[in-house]
Amino acid sequence: MSSLKTEFRTVTELDHVRIHSLVRRQGGVLTGDIAEVIDNADLVRSQEIPANVVTMYSQVLVADVHSGEQRTLTLCYPADTDPTAGFISVLSPVGSSLLGLPIGAIASWTAPDGTRVAAQVLDILFQPEASGDYVL
């Protein structure tokens, strides 16, 4: 069973292609949570993505639904991952759960210890496409 709750997601065509290419370059096939997100998302051109949707390199403010603890995360590709600085890989359970969600949606995933975690997207502090960067 997938760790993602079925949610409507919107992903840019560019992010879709780049994630597929990344996985292919690593010699793998798209599987798991990220495959579910990518395969079921509504694809749009970068210029058409709403500013309230999490895209690659978006900086988002999330709140744990149980504790209320807030954290700022930036969704990135694996090469740029730095969890201590809040840079979370799109291929991780957390990253996969955030990609394509709008503000207000709940991201949920399974932590490494097997517990279920859920966080609400409170705000998008930065989205490349909203600032006119369609190729970041």
Match 């560019």 to its residue by tokens.
14
pTM: predicted TM-score of the whole model, two decimal places: 0.88
pLDDT the model gives residue 111: 86
CA distance 56 to 128: 8
pLDDT the model gives residue 4: 42
Q: Which two structure tokens, joined as six digits, stand for 74?
A: 């930036």
Question: pLDDT tens, 10-53?
Answer: 999 999 999 888 877 766 655 567 777 888 899 999 999 999 99
Question: pLDDT tens, 52-97?
Answer: 999 999 999 999 999 999 999 999 999 999 999 999 999 999 999 9
pLDDT the model gives residue 36: 79
- In degrees and rounded to multiples of 5, residue 70 shows phi and psi of -100, 150
∠ CA 47-6-71, nearest 5°, is: 70
CA distance 11 to 71: 23
Q: With left for phi above 0 and alpha for psi between -120 and 50, is residue 114 left, alpha or beta?
A: left
**Mean pLDDT for the stretch of residues 116-122:** 96
CA distance 81 to 78: 5
Listed in sequence order, the residues at least 6 apart from 40 whose beta carbon sits closer than 8 Å to its beta carbon are: 6, 9
pLDDT grade, residue 6 (50/70/90)? very low
pLDDT the model gives residue 25: 74
pLDDT the model gives residue 31: 54
pLDDT the model gives residue 76: 97
